[in-house]
Amino acid sequence: MITWGIRITTFITNSAVLVAYAFLYTWLLNNKQDVLVRYRPVLLGALSWAVLILFHFASVLSMADAKNPTGFGWNYMNFQVVVIIFALFDRPPRHVVYSLLVLLTIWYWWMPRVTRWLPIELGTVITMWLLYRYSDKILAHAYIYYPFCYLFALPFYIANLFSLKTVDYGWPWLLANYAILTSIILIVQRQMRKSRERQAMLVTEATIDELTQLNNFRVFDDDLQAEYAQLQENGTVFALYTFDIDHFKRINDEYGHLVGNDVLHAVAKRLAELGDFLPYDTRCYRTGGEEFTFILNDIQENFATAVSIARMVKNELEKLQFTTDDGETFSITISMGQDRALAEDQNYLDVYNRADKYLYNSKNKGRNAITVRGIMLR
């Protein structure tokens, strides 16, 4: 009765330590703070080492205190194995994997009476690689996950068998609590992944325009502030182009909103494609109903290049062809305004306000035009 009491209480307290480790490990792995990002491999490796060493010494002291009659140390073996499995689930930085390999090499080498430990460790290396490489597939199916977990534990069990020949292992308890532990981390891991997926979805919904899949105005505003800060700090000049689809309301009225949506989607897709071929780093946004904007970073202040880019984007978008349900085809034109950031700008919105003013200049002068730095061109 005492033996089972010790086993169960040890299992419960160690499970609490394991779950705490899992949450702290995941928090470190996903936190975006600069200092944590910089030292993430070190922190993750140190945390895993600390928990593994804690379980190891708890195991040694437990066996010494119990004088080895019932294999109390094996109560900790499963926890050590599960810590390693959890550490590899989310494909951490490779330095973390290497640090775990170093610790396991020391452990295998240290194990008493395990003279041929290299082949055993090789088994661990192989299963670690498989878990690191195929964690998503292993996690997705219980019929793969549980057999793999027992396969992963096998080298550790073999090493302990050689090392502790006279210990009563309590195999039914050992295998049963391992099944419980692997179930716990499977549940924790799946819940954490669902949480991350929900957070990613919320971020996407908050930053990506659903119809066009371009960045929305919120992201545009943040990026514009960041560009302005770089201009003030480093003198890095950027250019801003903004344009409207001409007579877009007429398209909606004549052909319907579904066709209008097709137009917006096609324009956004083509703009994103063009952005990949422009000579500067380019980010594209939907900043209004039929208004789109793109920012070119770290540009050379050349008027001819600015005009060339504006004309190229305008001409490419006007090549798009659309077909209505009645079989009628049509194309679009756009009106565009452009300006670059200036060192004397007092606010991050100054360049956008100028480009927007030039856009309305193009619209007010008959549309189907571009106005670059205040100069209107057809």
Active site residues: 290
Kindly provide the b/e burial profile for residues 83-103, where b requires at least 16 CB atoms within 10 angstroms of the residue's own CB. bbbbbbbbebeeebbebbeeb
Instruction: DSSP for 163-192, please give it.
Output: H-TT----HHHHHHHHHHHHHHHHHHHHHH
DSSP letter at 33 equals -
CB 181 within 8 A of CB 84: no
Beta strands at 370-372 and 375-377: parallel, antiparallel or unpaired: antiparallel
| Bridge partner list, 335 | 244
Q: Which of 155, 151, 156, 157 is nearest to 134 (CA)?
A: 151
Q: Tell the burial category of 258 from Cβ atoms under 10 Å away from its Cβ (0-12, 13-18, 19+).
A: exposed
* DSSP H or E run through 287: none
* DSSP H or E run through 28: helix 2-30
CB 270 within 8 A of CB 330: no
Biggest distance spanned by C-alpha atoms of the chain = 95
Q: What value does the CA radius of gyration of the chain take, rounded to a whole number of Å?
A: 31
What SS3 class is residue 376?
Answer: strand
Please state at what angle helix 217-234 crosses helix 171-207, rounded to 10 degrees: 80
DSSP letter at 136 equals H
CB 246 within 8 A of CB 334: yes
Q: What are phi and psi of 105, to 5 degrees?
A: -65, -45
Q: Report how far residue 221's alpha carbon sits from residue 203's, in angstroms, rounded to the nearest whole number.
A: 16
